[in-house]
Chains A and B, each alone.
Chain A
Amino acid sequence: DAGVIQSPRHEVTEMGQEVTLRCKPISGHNSLFWYRQTMMRGLELLIYFNNNVPIDDSGMPEDRFSAKMPNASFSTLKIQPSEPRDSAVYFCASSLMQRGDTQYFGPGTRLTVL
């Protein structure tokens, strides 16, 4: 079975540009999570969805960040406008159930904002 798929794997952009990260969760999983990882702050939960509905977006840094999940097989995380401090690895993860189930991570998108 295919795991969590993320694209692009690497993104280099200039400050002020819009960035869209994409995620396809494991088929049949009904919870999806977006994380950001940096050396300074570790792995931070940005937002998560259950059955395509956003449950907790308290980790979204600011209004420049938005996430959508239009259907069970696709989610996007958008940053507009991007800033150098957004540079990080962004992981998408999915799980079968919301409540404390194992999370399966995608390979991540390494974002660099110049």
Chain B
Amino acid sequence: RKEVEQDPGPFNVPEGATVAFNCTYSNSASQSFFWYRQDCRKEPKLLMSVYSSGNEDGRFTAQLNRASQYISLLIRDSKLSDSATYLCAVTGNTGGFKTIFGAGTRLFVKA
């Protein structure tokens, strides 16, 4: 089993739709959680950190479920510009706090 797993998609949604991604992790002692966005042929960039209490940034909401060991990302009112690959990242407390990235979920938002 991979340490961090994501559904690769692709998710094809119309503009204005709400779409949600999940990411599961295997290390129950993981301490930090993030969602990154990666555009085609570009580097990953931080979208948002994920806190235990959940957090929201405009149309984006991230949540953490420690009991079930997953994090989620919800995008409301999808825009064409949201089309990208979304990577989850999990930092554990072993191996010097190494960060493991998921393989990414591809999202296509269509007009």
Contact = CB atoms under 8 A, between A and B. Distances in A.
A35 B43 CA distance: 11
B95 interface: yes
B46 A56 contact: no
Interface string B18-62: 000000000000011010000000111110010000000000000
A55 B91 contact: no
A37 B34 CA distance: 18
B80 to A, nearest CB: 24
A99 B97 contact: yes
A46 to B, nearest CB: 11
B44 to A, nearest CB: 5
A102 interface: yes
A57 B32 CA distance: 21
Given A42-B104, A43-B87, A105 B95 contact: no
Contacts of A35: 101
Contacts of A33: 99
Contacts of A100: 31-32, 91, 97, 99
Interface of A: 33, 35, 42-43, 45, 48, 50, 55-56, 58, 91, 98-108
